[in-house]
Amino acid sequence: MSLFAILSIIVGSVLIVSGLCLLLLPLASLQAVTMFPRSRWPGWVLTAVDLAWVAYILQDAYLGPCEFLKPYIYPVAPVAFFLVIYYMDELLAPRALGGLLLLAGSPVLNAARWYDTSWRLYMVVLAYLWVIMGMTLVLSPFRFRKTMEFVFKTDVRRRACAFAGTLVGLCAVLLAVAKYR
């Protein structure tokens, strides 16, 4: 199984699970998304994941005239973490989720680049949608709350979003099994 297929299965599984949680556990989902923007621990965990991933990417990247800074990347990451959680504590969880969405598009796009089928465009479009959502959350973290208020305003809207997310995830898993092998 190719890396692209594995990534597609992971993405599809996350979408299926989140869609089913939204469909089958509406009150718990509403409580979770209501508390999420101001929650400290999810924000801290997502921030730590984001900074570790960025440090890993920078360690492998060519930095040109700043190449001499590479030995300091890993020691600076924990310092950056504490500075971020101290100075950017307001709505940190949606911002960190946005950063994770920005970072998550990269491996999918890198794996799709060398895959020779037009079916790869499904995951490419999905990755670019994550990037757009990630930029929106990083720049305007209050949009998370506004979007969740829109989704949970009516039961029909919540179910439609749950079905859409589950269907998108199911398509990603089916494409991984049938086309991306």
What digits encode the pLDDT tens for the residues 48-88?
Answer: 999 999 999 999 989 899 999 999 999 999 999 999 999 98
pLDDT at 145: 93
**Closest to 18 in 3D by CA, of 114, 97, 121:** 97
What digits encode the pLDDT tens for the residues 81-114?
Answer: 999 999 988 899 999 999 999 999 999 999 999 8
pLDDT at 117: 85
Tell me the pTM.
0.91
**Closest to 133 in 3D by CA, of 99, 92, 166, 91:** 99
Q: What b/e string do you get for 111-144 counting C-beta neighbours within 10 Å, with b at 16 or more? A: bbeebeeeebebbbebbeebbebbebbbeebeeb
pLDDT at 152: 93
